[in-house]
Structure 1
Amino acid sequence: MNSTFAKWFWRIYLLAAIINTAVWLWCRFPWGLVVIAVAALMRLRTVIQQQRQRQNDGYWLEFLSAGVLRGDDNQFAVVYHEGEKQHFFQGRKSNGSAPDILTVPSQLVWRLQTPQWMAERRELILERIQRELEQRKKGRQMRIVEEDKE
């Protein structure tokens, strides 16, 4: 299934659910529609800001949990998107309050194993990822560690 279709399907589905809830609330509580409208506008504003930020920066990060990866409970991934291109970086959750670990290949392995479009741009990409990780407001803290897989 096309991921763009799926995204729009769920957006429209959510909008229909919001409208349905608003109508139901309006019948029982006249101010309910105003509350729903304000909440929907706030969410819409956030989505538009994120899309503009992605367009301005030309890249974005997507955080995938273990459930999405279908991996162990202590695994996660960060997907670096740049235009239509993407690359997965895997990570491990730490125990307790220690930051989670996002693993990236060493410089030599990076040049050999990453796609051509990102082979010579290691420092720029890691700087972008680090900046995004520092700006995160949700979730646990992460740190980047070089680790080559055998």
Structure 2
Amino acid sequence: MTPEELSALDGQEIGLSDWLLIDQDRVNAFAEATGDFQFIHVDPERAKATPFGQTIAHGFLTLSLFPLLMQQADLPMPAGLKMGVNYGGNKTRFLAPVKVGKRVRGRFRQIAFEAKGGGQYQHSIEFTVEIEGEDKPAVIAEWITLYFL
């Protein structure tokens, strides 16, 4: 898409990913990668005694699914894209825990696609992680990517 075509999508939903199972192996691998071994994530027996009744995914694991879920959602991209880099995030909120064994998906709404000069464009997206069968999403965040064309 041209930058003008992308800008015209401001305020619209631009993608929905497939459902992704959050299993204990994924949670344990994230704990290994980050060093976050809090029992609520990695010890099913101790987690039974918590208000959640079982292990839950790390909030940052849920947030880190952005690239995978974005790829699955096949979001519109600018023509002539050389590369994109993470620029930052705004208003990240962890609203509900993702219990191990649940499935999640990403819903993407474009906030803005703006020219920054020199062939650079800033793409702001509202990223919502929905939990299958739950009313409340796990995460809502505004994520910003800087594209180089």
TM-score tier after normalising by the smaller chain length: under 0.3
* Bigger Rg, structure 1 or 2: 1
Q: Which has the higher contact order (CA 8 A, sep 6+)?
A: 2
Q: Scaled by the length of structure 1, what TM-score is found?
A: 0.26
Between structures 1 and 2, the one with greater strand share: 2
Q: Scaled by the length of structure 2, what TM-score is found?
A: 0.26
Between structures 1 and 2, the one with greater helix share: 1
